[in-house]
A and B are shown apart, each in its own frame.
Chain A
Amino acid sequence: MNIYKKVALAGIIGFGLLSTAASADADKGMRIYQKKLKSACGFSGAVFAAKHTQDEWAEAKENGELGNVMIEACPAGKDFFESAKFKKKFSTHLYDFVHDFASDSGNIPSC
């Protein structure tokens, strides 16, 4: 690999390491639930999301109460929902996930 390609590759990787996270993603939210919460909560993400309607989840988010409402849904996840990482990084993805699979979302599960 010549010097120009090495510099370009280093630039892409270096710039990439500084880039901000992508926009909120329900699939990422589902994976976050699977990785961080499923064992603690003891039930699937679909069950967790279905504990509220879409309006209820939206209202919790608008009122800044999303973490508290999620703690009520899964008390065992309290430490996670109160963590800085949840507030800064995971909450928007998790919100997208629970909104998409809320009790009145009409979402049909895959096979």
Chain B
Amino acid sequence: MKKTILSFFIICGLFSSLSADDISDLKVQIDTLTKKVNKLEKKQKRTNKSLAKVKKHDAYDNIKWNIDFRTAYDNLNYKLKDAGSVSNPSLLSSRLWLGMGAAPTSKLSFKGQIAVYNTWGGNNLPATDPFQNVNWRASSKADDITLKLRRAYFVYSITGGKYPLSISAGRRAASEGFLANHREGLKKPGSPLAHITNMEVDGVMFRVGNAFGLDGSYIKFVLGRSYTNINQSSYSGTPYTTVNSTDANVNFFVIPMSIYNDGQYNLMAQYTAIFDFMGTKQSLISTQNPNGATTGAGLKHMGAVSLQVDGLNEDVDFLDESTFFISAAFTTSNPKSGYKMLGSDKTHTGYSFWTGFIFPDTFTEDGKIGLEYNYGTKYWAPMTWAEDTMSSSKIATRGNAYEAYWNLPFEDGHFSTQLRYTYMDYNYKSNIEEFWAAPDLQVGDATSTQDVRFYLRYQY
């Protein structure tokens, strides 16, 4: 009771100590604050209305798009064995990649790319050439204005923890892989090691993170099919089957792995086995098939180890912005009895070495110059058909290849140019042409090629 009376007198005292002016000031402040709150409430209502409009507009808009559009000029020159030379002084092409991405949950994502790669005014490429639009390079080689599926796959994270496991299936990001991205002006490489794999392929992948307990390590297991021997169309009585075919499906098993990656040193390796690969069989030679080419000829192994160093010395700007890489690889062809691979019924192994140095051009803010060297032996036969070199695959050179390029980005990298010179000196037949054939140079085969390229590129 005494406390209540005391509190009452204290409150009265406080009010009585406020003058009439103080009370008036307080009233003004309260009025001002009330007006501000009313204003904010109206603004909040308008913001909610706008957000509702945005939500309606974007509802079911489930793909994020990006664009990579490039226009290129190539000057091509080929010296031929005992047959002079051929050239194309001005090959003009445009390439459009429409990238797609979506991540409906934190564990599930989708990535894809559809592509058009056409030569300006081009419609003369041999329609009868069965390899012009093959599945494993169709969107990576300049052709016509047809839209093609370049990549489409989902990734689902099954488990997290110390060894996170994820699964993915679809048309893989298997071109412009590790180390090839520099010459393509791409910051991020595709999945496999480009020294042995640069193709468009379909497969299923399992990925185990932290596989070796080292920084950045992971291992992937990829099963896929690069050739299907279906010869019955959907209009036949037995759609999508094979009748009387001597061809076999060509399946592959690839193990790409990141052994160590601490942001500066990136060591990667890959093993590939391709089953029932292409070769030749004497009994299949015909007018339609003068080489007797067929799948099911034997087993092909490939392996590579590649090291990239980003930033050679963080105390020296020039070296800090430079990248060095080195890579070694092998391919082995193992024909079955009765078949030949690379023109021989014996097992043959080829080797390759690849090195590069990319450094600031020193006279622009972000321009970089790259210098690369490749060497390949007689039976070197990687799967690099989707490589973006007009004059055949530089990486597959059986001989010496030299390359210099200058990548110059503008507008935060959304616009860029490249000037590139590629020289390939062949000791043996280019692996890309007649990839089932013996490597020895024949009359009319290219003995060296030159490709000068300039491009303008938009990326956003």
Q: Which residues of A contact B (CB under 8 A)?
A: 12-13, 15-17, 19-23, 27, 30-36, 38-39, 85, 89, 106, 108-111
Contact = CB atoms under 8 A, between A and B. Distances in A.
Given A16-B359, A16-B362, A38-B215, 8 more contacts: A16-B360, A19-B318, A21-B317, A33-B263, A34-B262, A39-B215, A109-B109, A111-B153
A16 B310 CA distance: 17
Interface in B144-167: 153, 155, 166
Interface residues of B, number: 35
B64 A106 contact: yes
Contacts of A27: 187-188
Given A31-B263, A34-B216, A35-B263, A17 B316 contact: yes
Interface in B96-131: 101-103, 109, 111
A32 B362 contact: no
A106 B101 CA distance: 10
Interface of B: 64, 101-103, 109, 111, 153, 155, 166, 168, 173, 187-188, 191, 205, 207, 215-216, 261-264, 310-311, 314, 316-318, 320-321, 359-360, 362, 365-366
A15 B362 contact: yes
Contacts, number: 68
Contacts of B318: 13, 16-17, 19
Contacts of A15: 362
A107 B306 CA distance: 28
In order of increasing CB-CB distance, the 5 nearest A-B pairs are: A34-B263, A35-B263, A31-B263, A16-B318, A108-B101
Given A35-B264, A106-B64, A110-B188, A22 B366 contact: yes
Nearest to B265: A35
Contact of A31 (B173, B310, B317): B310
